[in-house]
Amino acid sequence: MWVEEWSSLAACRTSDSDEMFLAGPAELRAKAVCTGCPVRTECLADALDNRVEFGVWGGMTETERRALLDRRPTVTSWRRLLETAKREYSVSTERFEEEFESVFKRSLHRLVGFLITAGARRVDAEDAVQMAFIELAKVWDSVEHPIAWVRRVSFRMWTKITGKSRLYELSEDVPDSTRPDASDELVEQSQVVLFLRKLPPLQQTVMAFAYDGCSPTETAEAMGMSPANVRQNLHRARANLASILNAEGIG
């Protein structure tokens, strides 16, 4: 929203006004006052449209404003130009917040469950997913498939949290028994997780990706291994699961 009577809301109204018109190093202090000012855009537009020669306005010095005017001599209304830019920025920011929140709410529990299924402790899974979402916010505009991106980055964050490469820990040795976990959350107690924990770690992880809907190629990219290796371990995992289910009388 554009503010008509902006001067009464300016951040510099509570400071010594003379400081906004000093030259040299004092200009840096004056520009700092403009940082975060709620009417910075309105102030700058006013100074540009009225060709104000002296002082810092809207975070720009007279030298910076003069250079901007020289670069854009065809602009007839800086207010109209900056008002449009401010409105578009506001809409863009609101859209980002809505879309990001939607992805976060829709996929948070699913991604935590995915990492638990892959073998993570719940606390590590939650930390990894939270960190992945923080990274997603930084690159939001460049990510085409945010949920797939967060899944991949969450997996890699988990390997960092554990302090060593998950791939070096993964093996094809079948554990003697189901690995213990102190958590009593439903996802850890589900039949899927309990049965997958009876698989070798590498097979458990590739099955977790498959269970979450990933193709062998997507799994290979996230884990840093070849698709052929992923397919081989998926085949072994399914064969082992069939044996486990038969032994449990569930086949």
Q: What percent of the chain has pLDDT over 90?
A: 46
CATH topology of domain 95-247: Butyryl-CoA Dehydrogenase, subunit A; domain 3 (1.20.140)
Q: Which whole-number Å values give the CA distances from 155 to 93, 194, 200, 209, 242, in the listed order?
A: 28, 20, 18, 10, 26
> Do 56 and 85 contact (CB within 8 A), yes or no?
no
> Do 107 and 194 contact (CB within 8 A), yes or no?
no
Domain limits, CATH 1.20.140.160, in the chain: 95-247
pLDDT at 15 (0 to 100)? 66
Distance separating alpha carbons of residues 229 and 119, to the nearest angstrom: 19
Residue tagged 């899927």 (tokens): 192
pLDDT at 13 (0 to 100)? 82
Neighbour-count burial for 67-87, b at 16+ CB within 10 Å, e otherwise: eeeeeeeeeeebeeebbeebe
> Do 103 and 93 contact (CB within 8 A), yes or no?
no
Q: Give per-residue pLDDT as tens, 82-126.
A: 988 888 888 788 888 889 999 999 999 999 999 999 888 888 999
Q: pTM for the full model?
A: 0.58
